Amino acid sequence: MIPVTPDTELSISFENQRAVVSPWGASLRRYLLINDGGHDTDIVWGYSGGSGKRGGQGDVLIPFPGRVSDGRYVFEEQSLQLECNDKEGPNAIHGFVRSLPWRVQEVRANRVTFEIHLDADTYAGRGYPFSLAIWVTYDLGTSGLTCTFTVRNIGHQAAPVGVGFHPYFTVGTSLIDEAEVQIPGTACLEFNERLVPTGAVLNVAGTPWDYRRFRAIGRQRFNHCYVRLERDAQGMATASLRHTARGHTIDITMDSSFSAVVVYTGDAIADAPRAALAIEPMTCASDAFNHPDWGLKRLAPGETFSGRYHVRHRDIEKGSSVPQN
């Protein structure tokens, strides 16, 4: 078996689409379209090789997305302490699996599945004494890119589980300020100076943070967790990014397993601030380990939790979606 390193990458393709993924963290490193002239159109703001990564580009965030305040939480009457690894303050952030080697379970021309197990004995000392089997699949098809997750509790006690993804999107602008965004959240969490929730959930109606209809990003500094998502008749919630002059719209559509979406303009990325917009599907809100009613999944032994999100590019003038030939 070939060792997995931060530089290990796999490429999948379907018609004019290509994605680059890595078993290191099950990360999504690139997603692009190739036109008839052979020119690339990046959909995901990506990178190549472990040293090329900036911020949380393409990370998978399990078993908790976002921050856990002070790394402390209580679950099933157990008081637990996570490792505080947040550069913004004394918090735990974004789970464990984004910096671990995953196993390539299956690979096809247009599809790859990664697998990893978290063992309670290994992670008890890091504040998570629970055992999980986790699968993440990337699949290219006629509807674009689909990312599917499955988490199974393979331990002997119930486990707290949250799942998140950290892709950055681009519509071809040098700064994300030039684009417009539509966010389905009707409310967002209030954060303190350490970027952890205060516990308040704020309605966005009538505030500068109401983006339920397309609005220019401009100099707005997003680092917001949106909740109470608007959904269509099928229970799907969609966030969209567009640039009319370039003719690009990207839709990120989340199924009912996702109850929150974080939007981040990347202002703290030292060498490329505001180059792209992170639109992060999350099954629970930030700090849900301390606010279980914000979407935290209590996964019983043997129980499975799964969901998916889709990324689709649309041409504004033609109203078409991938594939575009």
Amino acid sitting at position 25: G
pLDDT in tens, 4-34: 999 999 999 999 999 999 999 999 999 999 9
As a residue count, the chain comes to 325
Residue partners of 254: CB distance under 8 A and separation at least 6: 229, 236, 237, 238, 239, 261, 281, 307, 309
d(C-alpha 38, C-alpha 282), whole Å: 34
- CB-CB neighbours of 14 under 10 Å: 18
List Cα–Cα distances, 256 to 23, 94, 199, in angstroms: 26, 21, 23
Quote the mean pLDDT of the chain.
Answer: 95
pLDDT in tens, 86-145: 887 889 999 999 999 999 999 999 999 999 999 999 999 999 999 999 999 999 999 999
Residue partners of 193: CB distance under 8 A and separation at least 6: none
Q: Are 305 and 200 in contact (CB under 8 A)?
A: no
d(C-alpha 170, C-alpha 249), whole Å: 10
**What structural domains does the chain harbor?**
10-321 (2.70.98.10)
Q: Is the predicted pLDDT of residue 1 greater than 80, yes or no?
A: no
Q: Are 162 and 65 in contact (CB under 8 A)?
A: yes
pLDDT in tens, 143-192: 999 999 999 999 999 999 999 999 999 999 999 999 999 999 999 999 99
Residue partners of 23: CB distance under 8 A and separation at least 6: 4, 8, 10, 101, 102, 103, 104, 114
Structure tokens given for 76: 């099933």
pLDDT in tens, 28-69: 999 999 987 788 999 999 999 999 999 899 999 999 999 999
